[in-house]
Structure formats: C-alpha cells, structure tokens
Chains A and B, each alone.
Chain A
Amino acid sequence: MRSILPVLTVVAVIVALWYGAAAAMNAQWVRDQAARAGTEVSLAQILPRTMSQERPVLPAPHQVAKGLWEGVAGQKITSKRSLVYHGWITLSATLLGFGIGTGLGILLAIGIIHNRAMDQSVMPWAIASQTIPILAIAPMIIVVLNSIGVSGLLPKAVISAYLSFFPVVVGMVKGLRSPDAMQLDLLSTYNASRAQAFWKLRLPASMPYLFASLKVGIAASLVGAIVGELPTGAVAGLGARLLSGSYYGQTIQIWSALFAAAIVAAALVGIVGAIQTRVLRRMGMAR
C-alpha cells in the first residue's frame, strides 16, 4: 500500500498537465469562433469552452473517459459504435497472430540452436525483418494475401505474427542456450540423446526467458493487429476506429480507441505475467 501514494501522485501530475495542454491547445478555436461572431471573450469564458468542444485539438481527460465509457458500456456490444465490438475484432487477430508468432518463434529458436546452418542464416534475416517499418510492409502483406484469396482475420494475424515472432526467437535462443557447459557435460556422462537434453534440460531452463519474450511479444502482436487494420480501410477493429476518427476529425473517438488499445495491451501483458508466476511457481523456480 505504500506504493499507492507515489503512483497516484504521478497520475495526478499527468492529468493536470493534460488539462493544461487541452486548455492551451483548444483556446485558439474558441477565440476564432468569437472573432467570427464578432464578440470578445474573456479568459474566464475561454477556459470552460476548451473543455467541452465536440472536435477539440486535444480532448480533455474527462471527455476521453466519457467517450471510453460510452463506447464500452453505452452500446450493445454488437453495435458498430461499441468499443467492445471493435476491441474484440482486434483482439481476435492479436491472439491468432500471437499464437502463430510464438509457435514460429519457438520452432525457429529450436532450429537455430540445433543446426549450425540455421544459426548462421536465420538470425540475420530475423533481425533484418524487424528493421523494415511495419507500416511499409503491412499494406503489401494485405494486398498479396488478398490476391491469393485470403482476407479478413488472417492477414491481420500475419502482420501481428510478423512483429511478435522476433522477441520469442531472441528470448528462446538465449533460453535454450542458457544451460552451462557443466549441465551439458553432466548429460553427456549419462549418454543422453539430443532430444533428451532438449526436453529435460534446455526446454525447462528456457521457461523464464520464454515468458519475458511473451510479454514483449503479446504487446507487439496488438500493435501489429492495429497496424494491419489501418491500410485496408478496415471497417472494424480498434485500428479502423483510429482511422475513421482521423478522417472525420473525431479526436475524442481517436483517443478513446487509443486508450481502449492501451487497456487491452495492459490486460494481455498482465495475463501473461500471471501465467508466468503460476508456471514458474509450479516448476519450483519462483520462491
């Protein structure tokens, strides 16, 4: 409980700065309106008007909170205006992509540690793949997949997997290689096979590394799914909400969608963390 005070302090400072910025950035519009109407506005009149605009440059925190609340609780969840509906669209692509990315990452890592040729050839490509901006490659993936008749959930999941496999490869290569020479010598004195070394030593030893990677990977998956929704002009998903919000200058909608994405990301990372704690405790690795 001692940590709650500093946390609240930081939140309060952020909210205060946000209100300040909202007032400053939205004031121009109020002045312009007044000038157009040929009236004068005093500072005391400007301030409340910066907090309740329909399309503010920067929505105030309470406007975003209201937008978020209406998006989540104010609609039927099947409604096109519901953030739960859009969130689920994005979440399903995220989870599928995360599954593909994690599976691919683990398989690549296993190949890399067991095969010299793969060790030298796969890693540079994996690194190169991550230096290409995802925004540049996402439309191409969608167009290419669309041309072979794949559309809908899968292309988004592929982009999501593209971002999430990398941390898993890096973490798992490190994890599978984490047993020291002595541990490997010990198995050699038992004349253990490579498969036995993998299942009995390398895989269990890699678990803490795997979970660290999964936390990064699942957040990256969500980013991938959202980015995957942008170039298609998708009609559903948090990315689509961001896009349509920016088309129509609906800043509150953009910020609500952003916060919804942040909340989903935090929840996903939290869930992975909870699984990590349980698994490692079960394995006797966490005290």
Chain B
Amino acid sequence: MAEGLATGRPVIEARGVGLTFATADGPVHALKDVTLRVMKGDFVSFIGPSGCGKTTFLRAVAALEHPTEGELRVNGMTPEEARRRRAYGYVFQAAGLYPWRTIAGNIRLPLEIMGFARDEQERRVRDVLQLVELDGFGKKYPWQLSGGMQQRASIARALAFDADILLMDEPFGALDEIVRDRLNEALLKLWARTGKTIGFVTHSIPEAVYLSTKIVVMSPRPGRITDVIESPLPRERPLDIRDSRDFIEIAHRVREGLRAGHSYDE
C-alpha cells in the first residue's frame, strides 16, 4: 500500500537548478545543477553541512528564493504560481508565533488571510490542534508553552489550510534530543495520517534516516547533490527501528556521502 502512495505524480521536479547570489565578494554558488524528482506522498530529507544549499533549495521550492538557472516545477507549476495557490505549508527553524495571539489565534492566522469562513476556521483550528496533540492549549499564549510545544503549534499552523506539501526547515534543530525524538515520531504519524508530501531539511543523520523515504545528501561550495538514497525502511517506523541493520546501513551511506562531499576542499 505504501508503494501506491509513493508512486503518484511528481510534486517537485528540479532539472539543472542553479542559484547564484551576487555578494560584495563576488558571486556565491548556493546551488549548482540540482536535479531531483519528489513524488506525491514522499518524505524527502535534505541533509548536508551548512552552506550546502539545503535550505536554499527548500526556499526555492517555496518561491522565497529564485533559481538563476534550470527549471523548477512544483505541482507542475512554477514555484511562484504554486505559492500564489498556497500549495504548501512552511515550517521555519523558529516557531515564530505571534506573541500577541493565542495558540488558536496563531493557527487561525493563515485561515484569516486566505479568507476561510469563521466556523470553518474554528473547525480547522480544533482539528489541527488535535493532530499535533495540543488540544486544550488553544487559549494559551505562546510564552506559556515550552519550545517543543511552540514548534508543534507552528506545524499546526502550516497544516491548517491543508496544503498538499509540507516544507520544513530544520524545525526541530533548536530542541533537545528527547523532545526531538518524540516530535519525529509524532511527525511520522501525522504524515501517515495525512498523506502529505514532506520536504525536510536537517543536519542530523539519524533524524534524516528515521523519517525519510528519500534522503538527499548535499555538499557545499558549490551547493550540490552528492547522493540520493531511496530508503528501504517500511513506512511504519517504531523508534527502535534505529537499531535495525537496514537503518545502520543507510546511516552509514549517508555519512559516507557527507564525507565525500567534504573531502573536496579539506
């Protein structure tokens, strides 16, 4: 059944995508010749050292950056069109909740902007709060919640308008290991329940291997893909799958890929 989901239409298609920033010290090649295809229902992780362009690529998919070369399609459209059609929810590194809005108010924000009806807003807020296991916290202000709970609220905010794609930029990077494990488990459950396509940026190898159906290993200067690993792990993943042979092998391959990228200039 997992196969059926993963072999749908391509959601993200990149062909020879390059992105060059002009800086005072000359051009910086944030991305070079990135070719990648992400299918509907995939969980794709982008992993690599800082400066490898993983965040830049995610931002390009979200039309927050604009590629200078190649072609990038999201749901068969340009990223700009996809953004205008609200094709994705984006979760940033920091929760970035508005301090003057309650948790429910924060989750309602995209719904207000997109013009959902009042009762529809309330229904969706209730649903996504349940989805991220924050029911009962809607009336609290962000500062009353822990960092992990705030990040869950920000995921709920990205889910509220029910876009097909969820883009996450190191969403758990600032959290401790224990909270992170729990949130990873919850994220997998959420992914299984909603069938969304998820793009996930991380610099943690176990996180990438544990979560993904596809792992994109990247390396810096210029930012490029060095390896794409299709994970053989089943979609249902208890935490102890991390002790399995498959898991360790994939983690090893990711590590090798990262090392190969690094030997380039060190």
Contact = CB atoms under 8 A, between A and B. Distances in A.
Given A196-B113, A200-B112, A189 B100 contact: no
B173 interface: no
Interface stretch (A44-52, A87-95, A160-168, A279-287): A279-287
A200 B64 contact: no
A188 B83 contact: yes
Contacts of A283: 100
B88 interface: yes
B100 A204 contact: yes
B109 interface: yes
Interface stretch (B7-15, B41-49, B89-97, B179-187): B89-97
Contacts of B113: 187, 190-192, 196, 200
Contact of A183 (B83, B96, B102, B141): B96
Contacts of A132: none
Nearest to A183: B96
A182 B64 contact: no
Contacts of A190: 86, 109-110, 113-114, 161
B90 A191 contact: no
Specify the main secondary structure of chain A where it touches its partner: helix
B94 A189 contact: no
A6 B135 CA distance: 50
Contacts of A204: 98, 100
Contacts of B141: 284
B143 interface: yes
A141 interface: no
B62 interface: yes
A189 B143 contact: no
A186 interface: yes
B88 A189 contact: yes
Contacts of B90: 185-186, 189
A201 interface: yes
Interface in A239-285: 283-285
B123 interface: no
Given A185-B64, A196-B113, A287-B143, A191 B100 contact: no
Specify the main secondary structure of chain B where it touches its partner: loop
Contacts, number: 55
A189 B62 CA distance: 7
Categorize the interface residue count of chain B: 20 to 34
Interface in B83-129: 83-86, 88-90, 92-94, 96, 98-102, 109-110, 112-114
A86 to B, nearest CB: 41
| Best-surrounded residue of A182, A283, A284, A285 (most CB of chain B within 10 A) | A284
A191 B110 CA distance: 9
Interface in A156-207: 182-183, 185-192, 196, 200-201, 204-205, 207
Nearest to B96: A182
B102 A189 contact: no
A188 B64 contact: yes
A277 to B, nearest CB: 15
Nearest to A197: B113
Given A185-B90, A189-B62, 17 more contacts: A182-B93, A182-B94, A183-B96, A185-B92, A189-B83, A189-B90, A190-B109, A191-B86, A196-B113, A204-B98, A204-B100, A205-B98, A205-B100, A284-B99, A284-B100, A284-B101, A285-B100
17 contacts: A182-B93, A185-B90, A186-B96, A189-B64, A189-B83, A189-B88, A190-B109, A190-B110, A190-B161, A191-B84, A191-B113, A200-B109, A201-B98, A204-B98, A284-B99, A284-B100, A285-B100
Interface of A: 182-183, 185-192, 196, 200-201, 204-205, 207, 283-285, 287
Interface of B: 59, 62-64, 83-86, 88-90, 92-94, 96, 98-102, 109-110, 112-114, 141, 143, 161
The 7 closest A-B pairs by CB, nearest first: A283-B100, A284-B141, A189-B90, A192-B113, A190-B110, A190-B113, A204-B100
